[in-house]
């Protein structure tokens, strides 16, 4: 029997019998698993037309229990004539076991209406647990805002694939998306731009764009994610990628002249100044952020901070002299250290992109390595925990095919098989004790050119399914086996309403003729990547 489960379980075998899910099905759970039981009742009740009332373990009943010999995210699943039994090491493991059970059912089990066909799960025994504790996805809601409803849907899709970290990119040059009550202009001004660049050739759409999440919205999002065992890690970018904040509060910048929220893409020149008042401002911002997000991790960005304004600023140069720093690079390192200390004092861990390595870090800081594998190798060997976010392997804003018909023709081609070949532990670390520093990996959904929820669907799926398998299962993978299982997984996505990209290429209605932008020349793109990674080679 070929189980069409994604990501693939660690081990599975067949059992005699089967289980029929219908309006008479019962569900019983250990008291510690009440939350998982409530989620499963809600999901299955929509398709059975019943309430899955409590019952006794045995035929016709789904039983959620605890197993003392299992890790927190591990589970055992047995299905047969004698019922369904999910034993887990904790609520997270039970939730993943429940997700696997749903995948044993027909795709109709994912619709929001009573099924018109039998919902039958085959007899199986599965033992499963994840390889990595950090199985994440970055979602950029700063460049193009995503409504709360669409964000909750995305969390459900992550949970379906057993991903457990949503890295929420909330602020950037082009928009500020989190309500900060002490500084209301961050959303009154910073959440809105007058128009947007539509491609990489400078064309503009002439339409205002914006939106933000209230603090109540964010509490709801965090609670919704927690019920699905997804941790939401907020990102508040600094000292670069901050033009929206400077537009709202000009005293944060270096120019002393008004700015607008940025309307074009790329790496902006406008960065925060290094005054004590600016550091205090963002500590106040983070105080409110910490109240909203209980995550032990908080990302402060730290990437792509251009230094021209600091070089030209008498204030920044005075600051460098006062602090006894050598140059602007050390000034950025000093800036990041202020927030490393601030978060550590509050029991949180700073996460930053791999540029933060270049000035030295406190031991507790976590490095999100995006410029290939070099940052991951350098950080791990220096004793820092690492999240592998390699842009060349798991950035889903990159195009999925070489043709001119891709609706987002940007970057190198990153096809399904390329994502499936991704290995979170870099080759340089595989025989190195420092490999234990790799917490896991996350894919990136950067939205400069992804301007709608439908476009997110197209760019993310089914590549997210391939990525999920790289962080869940053991290193050895079988592409043909994955393709066979994916063939059974795609009808589930379709039942949910996901407008994924067919492997054969975009359907006619998925293309958008006339979108400005062209596929990058591969040689030019590789030269850009080489320039980005030049500093990391020495560190690694």
Could you read off the pLDDT of 162-175 as tens digits, one per residue? 999 999 999 999 99
Rounded CA-CA distance 271/306 in Å is 7
pLDDT at residue 40 in the model: 97
pLDDT at residue 534 in the model: 52
Using CA atoms of 54, 55, 56, 57 in order, give the dihedral in degrees to the nearest 10: -80
Rounded CA-CA distance 513/505 in Å is 15
Rounded CA-CA distance 226/165 in Å is 10
pLDDT band at 518 (very low <50, low <70, confident <90, very high): very low
Inform me whether the pLDDT recorded for 513 exceeds 90. Answer: no
Longest Cα–Cα distance of the chain, Å, equals: 78
Inform me whether the pLDDT recorded for 440 exceeds 50. Answer: yes
Active site residue 448: no
Asked if residues 411 and 393 have their Cβ atoms less than 8 Å apart, the reply is: no
pLDDT tens digits along 251-286 = 999 988 889 999 999 999 999 999 999 999 999 999
Coil, helix or strand at residue 531: helix
Rounded CA-CA distance 429/438 in Å is 9
Inform me whether the pLDDT recorded for 297 exceeds 70. Answer: yes
pLDDT band at 530 (very low <50, low <70, confident <90, very high): low
Q: How large a percentage of the chain has pLDDT more than 70?
A: 94
pLDDT band at 105 (very low <50, low <70, confident <90, very high): very high
Query: Active-site residue among 161, 209, 241, 489?
Result: 241
Question: Which of 32-36, 340-344, 371-375 is least confident?
Answer: 371-375
pLDDT averaged over every residue in the chain: 92
pLDDT at residue 514 in the model: 39
Q: Sort residue 406 into left (φ over 0), alpha (ψ -120 to 50) or beta.
A: beta
pLDDT band at 409 (very low <50, low <70, confident <90, very high): confident
Active site residue 172: yes
- What kind and span of H or E run contains 435? none
Average pLDDT for 226-236: 98
By DSSP bridging, strand 209-210 and strand 192-193 are antiparallel
pLDDT band at 540 (very low <50, low <70, confident <90, very high): low
pLDDT at residue 293 in the model: 98
Query: Active-site residue among 51, 156, 304, 330?
Result: 304
pLDDT at residue 50 in the model: 81
Inform me whether the pLDDT recorded for 524 exceeds 60. Answer: no
pLDDT at residue 519 in the model: 38
Tokens read off for 479 = 């592409």
pLDDT tens digits along 412-433 = 899 999 999 999 999 999 899 9
Rounded CA-CA distance 336/303 in Å is 11
pLDDT tens digits along 379-397 = 999 999 999 999 999 999 9
Inform me whether the pLDDT recorded for 51 exceeds 90. Answer: no
pLDDT at residue 525 in the model: 44
pLDDT at residue 512 in the model: 60
Q: Give a three-class secondary structure readout of 16-49.
A: EEEEEECCCCEEEECHHHHHHHHHHHHHHHHHHC
Rounded CA-CA distance 117/107 in Å is 10
Domains defined for the chain, CATH in brackets: 11-128 (3.30.379.10), 134-235+247-268+343-351+358-501 (3.20.20.80)
Using CA atoms of 30, 31, 32, 33 in order, give the dihedral in degrees to the nearest 10: 60
Coil, helix or strand at residue 451: coil
pLDDT at residue 532 in the model: 45
Coil, helix or strand at residue 301: strand
Question: Which of 144-158, 396-410, 437-451, 455-469 is least confident?
Answer: 396-410
> What distance, in Å, lies between the first and last C-alpha atoms of the chain?
46
pLDDT tens digits along 181-195 = 999 999 999 999 999
Average pLDDT for 209-219: 98
Rounded CA-CA distance 89/67 in Å is 5
Q: Give a three-class secondary structure readout of 355-413.
A: HHHHHCCCCCCEEEECCCCHHHHHHHHCCCEEEECCHHHHECCCCCCCCCCCCCCCCCC
Inform me whether the pLDDT recorded for 130 exceeds 50. Answer: yes
Rounded CA-CA distance 232/299 in Å is 11
Active site residue 304: yes
By DSSP bridging, strand 231-238 and strand 192-193 are unpaired
Provide the 10 A C-beta neighbour count for residue 417.
12
pLDDT tens digits along 474-507 = 998 999 999 999 999 999 999 999 999 998 888 8
Rounded CA-CA distance 85/470 in Å is 27
Average pLDDT for 131-150: 98
Query: Active-site residue among 128, 172, 358, 520?
Result: 172
- Let me know how long the chain is: 540
User: How many angstroms from the chain centroid is the CA of residue 514?
Assistant: 30
Coil, helix or strand at residue 62: strand
Rg (CA), the chain: 24
What is the pTM for the complete model shown? Answer: 0.94
């Amino acid at each position: 029997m070929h189980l069409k489960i994604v990501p693939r379980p660690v081990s599975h075998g067949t059992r005699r019998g089967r289980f029929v899910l219908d309006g008479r099905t019962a569900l019983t759970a250990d008291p510690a698993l009440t939350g998982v039981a409530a989620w499963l009742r809600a999901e299955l009740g929509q398709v059975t037309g019943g309430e899955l009332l409590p019952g006794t373990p045995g035929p016709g009943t789904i039983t959620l229990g605890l197993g003392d010999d299992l890790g927190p995210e591990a589970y055992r699943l047995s299905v047969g004539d004698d019922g369904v039994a999910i034993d887990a090491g904790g609520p997270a493991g039970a939730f993943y076991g429940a997700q696997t059970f749903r995948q044993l059912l027909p795709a109709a089990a994912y619709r929001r209406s009573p099924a018109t066909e039998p919902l039958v799960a085959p007899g199986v025994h599965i033992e499963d647990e994840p390889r990595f504790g950090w199985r994440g996805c970055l979602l950029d809601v700063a460049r193009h805002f995503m409504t709360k409803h669409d964000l909750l849907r995305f969390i459900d899709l992550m949970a379906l694939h057993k991903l457990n970290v949503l890295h929420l990119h909330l602020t950037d040059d082009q928009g500020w998306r989190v309500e900060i009550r002490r500084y209301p202009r961050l959303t009154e001004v910073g959440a809105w731009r007058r128009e947007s660049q539509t491609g990489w050739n400078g064309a503009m759409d002439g339409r205002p764009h914006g939106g933000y999440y209230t603090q109540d919205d964010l509490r709801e999002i965090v609670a919704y994610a927690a019920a699905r065992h997804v941790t939401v890690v907020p990102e508040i970018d600094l000292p670069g990628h901050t033009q929206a904040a400077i537009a709202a509060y000009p005293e944060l910048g270096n120019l002393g002249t008004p700015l607008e929220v940025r309307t074009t893409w790329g790496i902006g020149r406008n960065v925060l100044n290094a005054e004590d008042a600016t550091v205090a401002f963002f500590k106040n911002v983070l105080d409110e952020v910490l109240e909203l997000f209980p995550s032990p991790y908080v990302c402060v960005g730290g990437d792509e901070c251009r230094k021209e304004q600091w070089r030209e600023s008498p204030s920044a140069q005075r600051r460098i002299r006062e602090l006894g720093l050598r140059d602007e690079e050390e000034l950025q390192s000093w800036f990041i250290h202020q927030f490393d200390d601030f978060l550590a004092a509050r029991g949180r861990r700073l996460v930053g992109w791999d540029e933060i390595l270049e000035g030295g870090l406190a031991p507790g800081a976590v490095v999100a390595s995006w410029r290939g594998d070099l940052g991951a190798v350098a950080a791990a060997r220096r004793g820092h925990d690492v999240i592998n976010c390699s842009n060349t392997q798991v950035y889903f804003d990159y195009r999925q095919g070489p043709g001119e018909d891709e609706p987002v023709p940007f970057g190198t081609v990153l096809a399904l098989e390329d994502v499936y070949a991704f290995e979170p532990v870099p080759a340089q670390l595989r025989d190195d004790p420092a490999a234990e520093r790799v917490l896991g990996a996350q894919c990136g959904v950067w939205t400069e050119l992804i301007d709608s929820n439908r476009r997110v669907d197209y760019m993310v799926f089914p590549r997210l399914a391939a990525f999920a398998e790289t962080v869940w299962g053991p290193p050895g993978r079988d592409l043909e086996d994955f393709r066979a299982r994916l063939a059974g997984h795609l009808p589930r996505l379709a039942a949910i309403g996901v407008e994924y990209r067919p492997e054969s290429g975009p359907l006619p209605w998925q293309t958008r003729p006339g979108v400005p932008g062209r596929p990058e020349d591969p040689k030019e793109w590789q030269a850009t990547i080489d320039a980005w990674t030049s500093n990391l080679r020495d560190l690694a």
